[in-house]
Amino acid sequence: MIGIVASTGGVESGMVLTASVASIVPCTEAEGPGKRFALWFQGCPLRCQGCCNPEYLPFRPGHDRRLDEIVGEIESSREYAGIEGITLLGGEPFAHAEAAAHLAEVAQARGLSVMVFTGFELEALQARIDPATAALLRCTDILVDGPYLRDRPDSHRRWIGSTNQRIHHLSDRYRADDPCWLKPNTLEIRVRGGEILVNGFPSAGAVGLWKGWTRKP
């Protein structure tokens, strides 16, 4: 599994667990129900045409973050921002299943919900003989599955990119008729240092528009 340096799916004394992380937003209201800590992994084996995050696809060095530090950031977001859960996105969370499962387990142990976006279909994940994949599924409340298909944009379901993608409620924490699904999609724009960070769900015609932005002197 690329993207995690040392993990057994659990914690062995003396091991430093890390994950390959592209980006973190400590508190967002644009990546699932309520306020959430969102983490994008660096690295995805899939190549959906029109992927929103092509820069997150390569498995490349230089993105490793210690999981204990990320857990500290989640706890801080819980304390100071009142998040109700975490959202794991990609990159592809199931290509980083050991790290993702660890974060999901920690989040649920602290009463937080877990939402995961994956380009794989649930049945394919369930067929994997991989303890980390099973652990991540076990700790996921909402799974959005399937590849993003640019020619099948979804304009009706909140947080969903294309009409082929399915929403699985893997626990009874949320329901398909929760009011949270009925609000319009939102996009958040942050300026952090010299960077413009955009997250959330743009309309199909606006995907990636901001990626050509450059700072003018």
The residues of the shown chain that bind ligand SF4, judged by CB under 6 A, are 44, 46-48, 51, 53, 56-57, 90-92, 119, 147-148
Which residue's CB is nearer to ligand SF4, number 22 or number 83? 22
Closest contact distance (angstroms) between CB of 44 and ligand SF4 is 3
CA distances from 43 to 20, 95, 100, 118, 119 (A): 8, 7, 13, 12, 12
Of 30, 33, 39, 24, nearest in space to 90 by CA: 39
Please give the Cα distance from 107 to 112 (Å, whole number): 5
Please give the Cα distance from 170 to 110 (Å, whole number): 18
Closest contact distance (angstroms) between CB of 78 and ligand SF4 is 26
Which residue's CB is nearer to ligand SF4, number 77 or number 140? 140
Please give the Cα distance from 83 to 92 (Å, whole number): 23
**What are the residues facing 199 on neighbouring strands?**
188
Which residue's CB is nearer to ligand SF4, number 47 or number 183? 47
Of 149, 145, 185, nearest in space to 167 by CA: 145
Closest contact distance (angstroms) between CB of 144 and ligand SF4 is 10
Single-letter amino acid code for the residue at 71? V
Please give the Cα distance from 126 to 136 (Å, whole number): 11
Which residue's CB is nearer to ligand SF4, number 10 or number 45? 45
Closest contact distance (angstroms) between CB of 13 and ligand SF4 is 34
Closest contact distance (angstroms) between CB of 56 and ligand SF4 is 6
Please give the Cα distance from 11 to 203 (Å, whole number): 41
Q: Which residue is nearest to ligand SF4 (CB)?
A: 119
- Neighbouring residues of 72: CB distance < 8 A, sequence distance ≥ 6: none
Which residue's CB is nearer to ligand SF4, number 15 or number 197? 197
Closest contact distance (angstroms) between CB of 188 and ligand SF4 is 19
Which residue's CB is nearer to ligand SF4, number 30 or number 48? 48
